[in-house]
Amino acid sequence: MSPRAHLASLAVWLGLSWPALGATQRPTLPGDDPTARPGLLAPLADGRHINLRCAGSGATTVVLEGGFAATSLAWTKLVPLVTPRHRVCAYDRAGYGFSDGGPLPRDADAVAQDLDEALHVAGITGPYILVGHSAGALYVRRFADLKPHDILGMVLVDPSIPFQDRRLSAVLGPGSGSLAVARDRALQCQMAATQGRLPSTEPGLSSCSAGDISKLSPEAQVARTMEASRALTWSTQVAELDALWGASSEEVADGAKSYGDLPLVVLSATGAFAHAPEPMRAQIESLWLGLHRELAALSSRGVQRSVENSSHLMMLDRPDAIAAAIEDVARVGIAKSKFRPAA
């Protein structure tokens, strides 16, 4: 692949993760597979429902926010590593999985407000440890702005940063942070879904599939195919992409300028750009680490860690590294606060 082609596709790895991570759709399908049905459908005041999947118990609640287009099922490998000591809640953002669609714009404010209301009506209280992957890091940072006194700490997993397109383009050249490729794909799939052409074996629509679902249960295969075939999935992706480097970035940038001494761990995947050609790879990696160090510096207790043997999809490759960071944040956060877990 040419260097220019790598720049055009950087958006996939610098802020996005794809719907093949797992997605489902109402109505509930028969069978014993819990991934083919909702967990807890929290009713919002406007009549919509947000799907939460919570497990474990503990005095702290770990809230998991997936990257672009990811559902609560993106965290399947991580959850069992964390539930022995904490309650863990992953969820489907509006328009994905079992959650109803949400009003426009689908920006960081809308996402954070949905999450806040869903947790409240479900009776899921803090203190919270927020974990955000990729674009989800912007959303948990905005949630932290809404609930600063309820946040014990944050773990940001190969996170996106505000105005990422500008920061990348300034170093790597025009267009290197563009989301145009991902947006065009989502628009194409949205149109095909609206026309009833999904699922499809047409070569031009192959990217609209649910990915490799051959190892899933029959009911889960049906559920994933249903979501990948509905227009709402793709229109939600377009709406999130349209806000990501615009309204969402502005909202996060206008929020906290410092996290004080809040425990903060920023995890950087060393293999995110493994297929980029040299010398571009070294340049991109240096830039990416620098941006993550800037983010960690927003807290006097912030640290940036490079995670070996991991692609951008760290929750799949190195869930152990994320679990370890959560434990570090919990230990420091509990020690520095007045909060004490029950014996």
3-state secondary structure 322-333: HHHHHHHHHHHH
pLDDT for 20 equals: 33
In angstroms, the CA 236 to CA 48 distance is 15
In angstroms, the CA 223 to CA 25 distance is 6
Q: What are phi and psi of 85, to 5 degrees?
A: -125, -15
Provide the terminal-to-terminal Cα distance of the chain, rounded to the nearest Å: 56
Quick one: which of 53, 162, 158 has its CA closest to 99?
Answer: 53
pLDDT for 338 equals: 52
Q: Is residue 342 part of a domain?
A: no
Q: Is residue 316 part of a domain?
A: yes
Interval 197-248: pLDDT, tens: 999 989 889 999 999 999 999 999 999 999 999 999 999 999 999 999 999 9
pTM: 0.91
Q: Beta-carbon neighbour count of residue 275 at 10 Å?
A: 12
Q: Are 113 and 80 in contact (CB under 8 A)?
A: no
Q: Is residue 177 part of a domain?
A: yes
pLDDT band of residue 30 (cuts 50, 70, 90) is: low
Q: Which residue range is the domain that position 170 belongs to?
A: 3-335
> What mean pLDDT do residues 66-74 have?
97
pLDDT for residue 298 is more than 50? yes
* 333-336 long-range Cβ contacts below 8 angstroms, 24+ apart: 333/60, 333/127, 333/129, 333/152, 333/153, 333/262, 333/263, 334/60, 334/152, 336/261, 336/263, 336/301
pLDDT band of residue 176 (cuts 50, 70, 90) is: confident
Q: Is residue 74 part of a domain?
A: yes
Q: Is residue 343 part of a domain?
A: no
What percentage of the chain exceeds 90 in pLDDT? 82
pLDDT for 32 equals: 83
Q: Are 319 and 77 in contact (CB under 8 A)?
A: yes
Is the dihedral angle over the CA atoms 230, 233, 236, 238 positive or is it negative?
negative
CATH number at residue 300: 3.40.50.1820
Q: Is residue 341 part of a domain?
A: no
Quick one: which of 259, 43, 277 has its CA closest to 142?
Answer: 259
Q: Is residue 236 part of a domain?
A: yes
Number of domains in the chain: 1
pLDDT band of residue 333 (cuts 50, 70, 90) is: confident
In angstroms, the CA 241 to CA 98 distance is 20
Mean pLDDT check: name the lowest of 32-46, 69-83, 119-133, 273-287.
273-287
pLDDT band of residue 279 (cuts 50, 70, 90) is: confident
pLDDT band of residue 11 (cuts 50, 70, 90) is: very low
